[in-house]
Amino acid sequence: MDHSTIISDTDTVRQMLEHRASTTPNYPYLRFGDVTLSCGELDQEVNRYANFFVGLGVRAGERIAVMLPNSLDAVFVFFSLAKLGAVQVPVNIHLRGQTLAFLIEHSEPNLLIADQQYAEALAGSVKQDLIGKLVWRDEIATSDWRVGLSQASTASPPGEPKSSDVLSILYTSGTTGPPKGVLVTDKMHRAAAWASAVVADVSAGDTMYLWEPIYHVTGTEVLIVGLEHELTLALTERFSASKFWPDVRRYGVTHIHYVGGVLQILLRGPRGPEDDSNSVRVAWGGGAPSHLWASFSSRFSIELRENYGMTETSSLTSMNMEGRHGSVGRPAPFFDVSIRDSDDSSVATGETGEICVKELEAGLITCGYFRNPAATEKAFLGGWFHTGDLGQLDEDGFLYYAGRLKDSLRRRGENVSAWEIERVVEQLTWVRECALIGIPDELGDESLKLFVTVVDSGPRQINLLADWCRDQLGRFQVPEFIEFIDEFPKTATQRIQKEQLSKTTEMCWRLTADGTLTPPT
């Protein structure tokens, strides 16, 4: 296929949805709990939500922030805003404090749609001028949300979105600054879905398990795969190890997605006689250590398909469909990949350098970062998009991921900015300096370890520090280990040398997910 025709420049997500609704109206698009939603019912409900939003004043091109958990409402909101041509700004439901406030203030949404359960987190993050633009989602039949939706029309709503229109602004963790809003077009969303379907090798009648948050690009791409192919999605609120295999059996799941330590968690589960007789054929995703491939595949009789990518490059840059262990695959057919050194020159085959990406088809790499021209310019040096990741290419063109070039960590599928967390902690007046590093854990993921020095050898106020982190950071950003030290190792220019910081946890306070604080042993 010619590179210029892989992802259509005329189709849109709206057209895909309406086409599926007209051609296969009774086909089950999605199952959520005991609810089964057909393609026709999906389109009808999406129209209802779109017309409800039109009544609230939503227009094409306006930014709409959305803070919802995985739910039918979240699905309807995503597609309804896509139909209207509005620009949605998905908000991670675990954010709070200053990170949440920055995202809301920076994006300046015309409307904020949020679940009622996040009211407390939003209370200190939403400025007064946005209070009147808040729409609370809840399950109460007499609420403004439910009444408004029940009265909205299911007729086709206004809107003529184009392939090149920005569909989403997806904020990713900054490294030397605050989070950056990636401009993601309709075409990029569809390219992500196309690549996911290819690497997962989907067929008609398949069922894809969707546990990924819909506020992530990986969640929305699966929603769109369900429009592109005659298959069914099985949606759940969140990943749960205890519910995973029961859900697989309940829905007859054939495809699962993984990130972070998901595979490791499943491998640690108790063995059972049905391990190798489940319905899953393919697991695709990123972050599977090479040594786990064989053990996972043999135990569960599931083929692994590793890939690599980022939001800025339509989610998937490379795809491993040949089963070469340790590799994240060959570049997607619409991308060229180059490994480059600090002088922006290509390195020899097998050498490590920064992974850089170039389009072979226009419109599949972000046009930039929202209201951040400096970051945009820096990312596109020399005509290549610089990912900030390290890797190598072998003689056969297979890409191997080799870690992060920038000061960013990965925890439970979330990018975590060390810079962002350090800036929050340093606001405590008794903290002199701090530094955050990642510690590899037994899941092949990273735990967060925070080092702190205090002013003038003052008191080490661990309880205050723990409370501050819980109040000001998202759950996935809160350090698990905290160590107080007297001085940081530094360069001649007074830069903290993080590579010299200890990764042991013996002298650390431990902060657990339930808020328990355990002293050093």
Q: Are 140 and 150 in contact (CB under 8 A)?
A: no
Q: Which of 516, 520, 484, 518 is nearest to 505 (CA)?
A: 520
Q: Which of 321, 366, 5, 316 is nearest to 191 (CA)?
A: 316
Q: Are 262 and 445 in contact (CB under 8 A)?
A: no
Supply the pLDDT for residue 83: 98
DSSP state of 346: B
User: Largest Cα–Cα distance of the chain, in whole Å?
Assistant: 72
Distance between CA atoms of residues 258 and 415, nearest Å: 15
User: How far lies 176's CA from each of 209, 351, 410, 453, in Å?
Assistant: 35, 26, 16, 21
Tokens of 482: 């905290």
Tokens of 33: 């709990």
Supply the pLDDT for residue 1: 42
SS3 content of the chain, % helix, strand, coil (to 5): 35, 25, 40
Distance between CA atoms of residues 271 and 299, nearest Å: 9
Q: Which of 167, 476, 198, 96 is nearest to 311 (CA)?
A: 167
Tokens of 474: 């998202």
166-172/303-308 β-pairing: unpaired
Nearest-10 crossing angle of helices 39-55, 72-84? 70
Place of tokens 């600090």: 342
Supply the pLDDT for residue 491: 56
Q: Burial-class residue 136 by CB neighbours within 10 Å (0-12, 13-18, 19+).
A: middle
**Which region holds residue 389: left if phi is over 0, alpha if psi is between -120 and 50, else beta?**
beta
Neighbouring residues of 349: CB distance < 8 A, sequence distance ≥ 6: 393, 394, 395
pLDDT per residue rounded down to tens, the chain (521 residues): 445 689 999 999 999 999 999 999 999 999 999 999 999 999 999 999 999 999 999 999 999 999 999 999 999 999 999 999 999 999 999 888 888 999 999 999 999 999 999 999 998 788 777 777 899 999 899 999 999 999 999 999 999 999 999 999 999 876 556 889 999 999 999 999 999 999 999 999 999 999 999 999 999 999 999 999 999 999 999 999 899 999 999 999 999 999 867 887 898 788 888 898 999 999 999 878 776 788 899 999 999 999 999 999 999 999 999 989 889 999 999 999 999 998 999 999 999 899 999 999 999 999 999 999 999 999 999 999 999 888 999 999 999 988 777 666 777 677 787 877 887 898 888 888 889 999 987 766 789 999 998 887 666 789 999 999 999 998 889 999 999 999 888 755 456 778 789 999 988 999 987 778 899 87
Distance between CA atoms of residues 235 and 179, nearest Å: 28
Supply the pLDDT for residue 489: 87
Distance between CA atoms of residues 379 and 388, nearest Å: 9
Q: Are 149 and 113 in contact (CB under 8 A)?
A: no
> Helix (H, G, I), strand (E, B), or coil: what is residue 42?
helix
Single-letter amino acid code for the residue at 456: D
Q: Are 517 and 463 in contact (CB under 8 A)?
A: yes
Distance between CA atoms of residues 97 and 470, nearest Å: 9
Residue 178 φ/ψ, nearest 5 degrees: -70, 175
Q: Are 240 and 214 in contact (CB under 8 A)?
A: no
> Helix (H, G, I), strand (E, B), or coil: what is residue 276?
helix
Q: Which domains does the chain have, with CATH numbers?
A: 3-304 (3.40.50.12780), 333-404 (2.30.38.10), 408-518 (3.30.300.30)
Q: Are 270 and 245 in contact (CB under 8 A)?
A: no
Q: Which of 161, 160, 159, 154 is nearest to 47 (CA)?
A: 154
Tokens of 400: 């191997």
Supply the pLDDT for residue 98: 86
